[in-house]
Amino acid sequence: MSAPYGRNWSYLWIGTTPTWQTVLLIVAFFIGVWGLFLLVIGILSRKHSWILPVFAIGLGAPRWCQMLWGTTFIGHSLPWADIGEGMTRIKTGLLVGKSLWLWLGVLDAIQGVGLGMLLLQVPPLPGFLDGADNRL
């Protein structure tokens, strides 16, 4: 299982994009987008505490999509996102691919937090924690 995770994370650092651009994307997504999402969810959860768990369940499988995107080299070349023609072409396709990968990572983190909250908000079965022996 560790080999796909390693290849998935190596997708972020390979390619011809400079490291500083990748670090800027990481900061933008995992601090900016994640912080904005937490602000919105914090406001919405004042009325309904189940908003994050319900949203997390509705996301589907972002980690699966992220690993597919990172390990199959689908996102290495997005020629429709490049700007310009010929040798002067700006390779924005790599940045768009990495941005999508980071977006899926943010969705995966949101799903993990939401499912954890779901487990914390569901009360245990009666007699489960009181030490009573309820076997038949």
Each residue of 54-69: pLDDT tens digit? 999 888 888 888 888 8
Q: Give me the domain span that covers residue 115.
A: 2-121
pLDDT, residue 111, reads 92
Asked whether residue 108 is domain-assigned, the answer is: yes
How confident is residue 43, by pLDDT bands cut at 50, 70 and 90? very high
Give the model confidence (pLDDT) of 78-114 as tens digits.
Answer: 778 777 776 556 678 888 888 999 999 999 999 999 9
Start-to-end CA span in the chain (Å): 40
Number of structural domains, the chain? 1
Contacts of 15 (CB under 8 A, 6+ apart): 76, 94, 98
Within-domain flag for 128? no
User: In the predicted model, is pLDDT for residue 119 greater than 80?
Assistant: yes
